[in-house]
Amino acid sequence: MKAVILDAASLGDDIDLSPLHAAVDHLEVHAHTAVEKRQERLGNADIAITNKVVLDGDLLASLPDLKLICVLATGTNNIDMEAARDRGIEVRNVSAYGTASVAQHTLMLMLALANRLPLYMRDVAAGRWNESALFCLLDHRTLQLADKHLVIVGHGELGRAVSRLAEAFGMRVTFAARPGNEAQDSRPSLASLAGELDVLSLHCPLTDQTRHLVDAEMLTRFKPGALLINCARGGIIDEKAALDALRGGSIGGLGVDSLPEEPPRQGHALIEAMDEALNLIVTPHSAWISPEARANVVSLTCDNLHQWLASRA
């Protein structure tokens, strides 16, 4: 069996790929693969291994030897799943590889925003502490997390991990109903919780039901000091509306680890706004990147390879 990794650089150069080499007869590794190179590199491959390289229907139709696609991530939106199914190509992804890493990143955003870290760091860098009449600066009202209400959208492994960490800080946690399924869900809807939450953290997939789940109308219901955190997918919040709310003081802080287009080649309003005096943090889809999480991706992909090969024995 020949396998080809199309975008190994997405795992970083500090991750050991030897388990993948050991799992197949031959492994060809490419750091990056441009669109025009996909067919050439996969032409005689049995297995394609990819993180974000798009494998569309036309490409799959040109690869008669391809039998398996291993996705180095949970999302499979870069694969034409219907075309793969029609051609008998199995697609296997990985999940729960970065739970600890993403949960930690979420709490980092929550703590930094609660303590107005972006604003105070800006003030110190500008020399305002040096000039203060007091021993400290008191200009930005912080949020003590103990006894505050955290609402989480997404009751999967990641949402539950964030809940456990938040409870260690003394927060009260409520899971909102699954968007689009509120009538059949015993949990309260996000709309009903919006006016009472202190922090909203999103850990749900991007679907038709969750696109712009947090929009301009929803944001008008938030408390002025509420924090909004998105470590899920760009587009679950209306980023422009959230930025307007932050600038207008309708919310107290905004932290995102993803944007609708990644990388943001054309820029983005949130990135441009980082030059402003706002309680705003934008991280480059880095919540998942701990070495442990990236090593887990390799391990789980090896499991997928071994299971698939065993099923063909």
User: Which of the residues are catalytic?
Assistant: 233, 262, 285
Residue 120, φ and ψ in degrees, nearest 5? -70, -35
Residue 209 near residue 235 (C-beta atoms within 8 A)? no
Cα–Cα distance list, 200 to 16, 223, 238, 284 (Å): 36, 11, 14, 20
Which strand (E) or helix (H) includes residue 49?
Answer: strand 47-50
The set of residues, in sequence order, having a beta carbon less than 8 Å from that of 34 and lying 6+ positions away, is none
- Answer whether the bond into residue 64 is a cis peptide, omega within 30°: no
- Please state, in angstroms and rounded to a whole number, the distance separating the CA atoms of residues 141 and 127: 19
* Measured distance CA(284)–CA(269) in Å, rounded: 14
**CA distance linking residue 196 with residue 217, whole number of Å:** 15
Please, are residues 305 and 70 in contact by the beta-carbon 8 Å criterion?
yes
DSSP per-residue string spanning 165-233? HHHHTT-EEEEPPPTT-GGG-SSPPHHHHTTT-SEEEE-----TTTTTSB-HHHHTTS-TT-EEEE-S-
